[in-house]
Amino acid sequence: MPNLIDLRRRIRSVKNTQQITSAMKMVSAAKLRRAQDRVIAARPYASLMRDMLGSILAQLPEGSPVLEHELLQRREEKKISILLVSGDKGLCGAFNSNVTRFATRFLSENPGTEITLECVGRRGRDFFRRKRVPINREWVNLFAKPIEFSQAKDIAADLMQSFRDGEADVVYLLHNEFKSALAQTVIFRRLLPIQPAESDESNTVDYIYEQPPETIFETLLPRYVETNIYQAMIESAAAEHAARMAAMDAATRNAGEMIDNLTLHLNRVRQAAITKELIEVVSGAGAAQ
């Protein structure tokens, strides 16, 4: 049975840990608010980009040379590249393990296919480096500051060049999507080749273009890839802050329960020690008589 000194030391240690987890929860809550605002502000732009591509696609005549654009060409999926977006830090519950688990399952389900990873975030890179999975490129420490569009643009340029050079027949995007402060969803979708959403004729907006649709379409294709990567990165950043806030809240509450249990145990041990001393005093007094 631990003595009183050990119990007091344990309680003091748990209280220090509780202060750390509580502080991390408040920091994540503050960062989540700003990250959530960025996600909400960016979603309409990404949605409008998809709608505009679909509208321009509907206006292009059959056999248009734009439809033969290199970023639209579908090939047999012999070489697959996955852009995996994870976090740079831990202590955020199952945030990182959700995407790594999904990627691991995808690798096991496609054993005969050449699959390489493009890792954004330290945790995903370290996990698959230990698994000895081929990692083509890596971008780490991007989430230390708010994500900039220029960072997504650089990543998109590398991926589009790999697709043009035939290093990858298809590029998939894997990341956590922010739903709420308590929920995140793993998203796995094709990034390249681009497949614009079909335009719904009942909801089609009649855009007036200053340039020919072919010119605009060719300009929008790279921007579409950049926007998708940027959207994935800010969604992942917001989801990470939400997951860490929830994890630290749970850790703080668990520490409080542990402190209560240890304090109760301390009181029982102290009471038992006092009772034992009283019995010894009374027994000694009785023996003296």
Q: Which residues are catalytic?
A: 92
Cα three-residue angle 125-127-131, rounded to 5 degrees: 110
The tokens describing 121, both together, are 């975030």
* Strand partners of residue 186: 176
> Rounded distance, CA 27 to CA 90, Å?
15
Neighbouring C-beta atoms of residue 233, cutoff 10 Å: 24
Which segments of the chain are extended strands (E)? 79-85, 114-120, 135-139, 170-180, 183-192
Report the C-alpha gap between 60 and 65 in whole angstroms. Answer: 10
- Smallest Cα–Cα separation from 211: which of 31, 52, 97, 87? 52
Q: Which residues contact 100 (CB under 8 A, 6 or more apart)?
A: 84, 86, 123, 124, 127, 128
